[in-house]
Amino acid sequence: MNSKRTIPGQLNRLTLVTLLCLSTTVQAEETQQLPEMTVEGAAMSGSAIFPIQLEQTPVTTADTAALLERAPGANVNRNGPLTGIAQYRGMYADQVNVLVNGIHINTGGPNGMDTPLSYIPRAQLESLEVMRGIAPVSSGLETIGGTMKANAKTSHFSSGDEFTPSLDLMLGGASVDTSYSVNGFGALSNRNHRMHVYGSREKGDDYEFPGGTVTPSEYDRKNGGIGYGFQDNGHELGLNYRHNRTDDTGTPSLPMDIKYIDTDIFESEYSGTFGAYDVHGQLFYNDVDHKMNNFELRNPPMPMMTRENESTSEGLGFRADVGFAVGAGQLLLGTDGQFDEHDATVTDPVNNPNFYVEPYNDVKRDAFGLFAEWDSDIADDWDMQLGGRYTRVSSTAGNVSHFMAGVNPGITTLQNRFNDADKDNDQNNFDLVAKFDHAYSSQLGFNLEGGIKNRAPSYQQLYLWAPLQSTNGLADGNNYVGDIDLDSETAYEAGLGLDWNNPRGYLSPRIFYRYVKDYIQGTPSTDPVVIMVSTMGGDPNPLQWSNVDAMLYGLDMNWGASLGSNWSLDGVISYVRGKRDDISDDLYRIAPLNGSATLSYSAPKWWVGLEGIAYARQDKVSETNEESESSGYGLMNLRGGYDFTRDLSLTAGVENIFDREYQNHLSGINRVVNSDVPVGERVPGAGRSFFASLQYRFN
């Protein structure tokens, strides 16, 4: 790798400070009315919502999760082109509640290959929102790391009795991976009925970087569905079906690549009013069939080490809530549940038809919750939200088997030990949240929040009985084993922020502190049998999931300024520090100080935006996970759009204008031999890429 092309950490810190200072230096400009703000702050009771602006993001972006980098405090862990794992304030994967069309999707891959946001291609995305700070208890069953909401395009009721058609077609492509995307959405609606159908196809080759090609990083995804809605006299019913098919797709930071992911998702939702009561309900189901291997898109680590993993998963969920006035506020009472099943089997179809391992068999994880949340104006210019939740999570698993059991003493011991154990793990968790918003003036507001949040261990952390790298996308290269007796993570969090907004600009900083008792982290295994079996598999230092104590704290903010009637400047800055509290070590895969700023010019028929991105050096890394440090870097992107007519528009631009070679700290470590990226080195980001998309809308 050409390290001379990266930017020193000191320069990136200076760049970030410069971006921050820009928000104050523009005060000398003539006062102009700003366009619509990108944050809802003190005027809202409860949680501030940050809607990510999609207009200036490439529709050709394969990984929808990449858009999270535009939100304060949010980021994404990358293991491949479609496997972005949401991160918020240093917590990620199952710690972050990601809702897709308002529902929790039970992903099928034991290594996080089909993350929730992979089920909405960018071209189908209607909105992507991050709840800033502590998530309300009503936002989901387990929200210890926050809540994010992604919604796909859908049909909408019209005002008359006659049916009105609408159409949205998009064709796009990018040069860095010779990719293309095609998307279509059609709808028909009147005042009582709405219906829609949609479909997309995205395909790309291995992407290029200044030092070569990342192999394998190709992708191939098809997505489609239908939906129907009915409304009458204050009642509304919606039904939706979505099918996702991902074929050959690389994940160079994981032991295997995607052969296919075949997923069906069914959704139903009702809302209605009965007198003074607002009633809402959801029922949803998804089914995943997932196959991955290490020999079709890459060379196996050794000729005789060909492996294939087939996993299946089912998820059934529901939610029911009712809202009504109580005192000076609105009370929301509800219940929700998520019932998941998982199975996985590893085979060797190339060299050894007798080889098989069951990492997970008949795993069940059932979560059931009850919650109450009260939003109220407690005094002039003061809003309050109080919430409480009880969640019970019950997990269990069936017996497992290994083709070497009875032959290999170590494997025999681990298998028998697991099968003889009581595999039930029951967690009773209580969440409490309090939020206060004060409108000090028409331009300035303050917010204060505190809460206790919990998350029960994942099925991988409980039931991985043999030392393997099945870690829900953690991708640190270590073998892990689970612990059936793990306790829930419990976070104690406080936050303070302000929202300033006037015709010249806006500023919304937040500071936070979170102490996590029983944080689930891999620690060096002391079990001689585990160490022996892991050593035979190539890792003499396996880790075991354990409860430790940790803390995370930091600051994030979004800001913007008007530079004239057509010019605007908007930016985001995020910083989080994560470290162990029981020993002197840092947490794994925490984003360094980072920020972005976009200078935009908007005219009636066209717009252009120049974006600068800067990431500082990350030298606060986990020794336990053998994490390497990363250098800082800066990137520039240019994007623009032109409306030929009211219905036809073009978006085009250049990503990474100067073709910088860089490695995002949240990118995984390369596992692929005979690649332009050395094994064990962090996977580099994409080089210069020209992109364009043509969109036709009719309504």
Copy the structure tokens of residue 664.
Answer: 């995002």
Residue closest to 256 by CA, chosen among 222, 305, 213, 325: 305
Radius of gyration, CA atoms only, the chain: 25
Q: Kindly state the average pLDDT of the residues 294-315.
A: 95
**Residue 266 pLDDT exceeds 80:** yes
What percent of the chain has pLDDT above 90?
Answer: 89
The neighbour count for residue 317, using CB atoms within 10 Å, is 21
Q: Give the contacts of 166 (CB within 8 A, at least 6 positions apart).
A: 155, 186, 187, 188, 189, 697, 698, 699
**Residue 2 pLDDT exceeds 80:** no
Domain that holds residue 477: 3-698
Q: Give the contacts of 302 (CB within 8 A, at least 6 positions apart).
A: none
pLDDT the model gives residue 699: 86
- Sorting pLDDT into bands at 50, 70 and 90, what band is 84? very high
Residue closest to 117 by CA, chosen among 223, 205, 38, 217: 223
Cα(300)–Cα(350) distance, rounded to whole angstroms?
A: 11
Cα(40)–Cα(267) distance, rounded to whole angstroms?
A: 29
pLDDT the model gives residue 308: 97
**686 HSE (CA, 13 A, CB side):** 29
**612 HSE (CA, 13 A, CB side):** 16
Helix (H) or strand (E) holding 25: helix 9-25
Digit-coded pLDDT (tens) for 313-365: 999 999 999 999 999 999 999 999 999 999 999 999 999 999 999 999 999 99
pLDDT the model gives residue 256: 97
Digit-coded pLDDT (tens) for 89-145: 999 999 999 999 999 999 988 999 999 999 999 999 999 999 999 999 999 999 999
pLDDT the model gives residue 653: 96
**Residue 81 pLDDT exceeds 70:** yes
Phi, psi of 526 (to 5 degrees): -110, 5
**Residue 35 pLDDT exceeds 50:** no
Digit-coded pLDDT (tens) for 193-228: 999 999 999 999 999 999 999 999 999 999 999 999
Chain centroid to Cα 199, Å, comes to 23
**The amino acid at 523:** T
pLDDT the model gives residue 380: 86
Copy the structure tokens of residue 142.
Answer: 């387990």
Q: How many residues are there in the chain?
A: 699
Q: Is 3 exposed, middle or buried (0-12, 13-18, 19+ CB in 10 A)?
A: exposed
Residue 66 belongs to a domain with what CATH number?
Answer: 2.40.170.20
DSSP tag of 156: -
Chain centroid to Cα 1, Å, comes to 29
pLDDT the model gives residue 196: 98
Count how many domains the chain has. Answer: 1
What percent of the chain has pLDDT above 70?
Answer: 93
- Sorting pLDDT into bands at 50, 70 and 90, what band is 24? very low
Q: What is the 3-state secondary structure (H, E, C) of 161-230?
A: CCCEEEEEEEEEEECCCCEEEEEEEEEEECCCEEEEEEEEEEEECCCEECCEECCCCCEEEEEEEEEEEE
- When the pLDDT of each residue in the chain is averaged and rounded to a whole number, the result is 92
pTM: 0.92
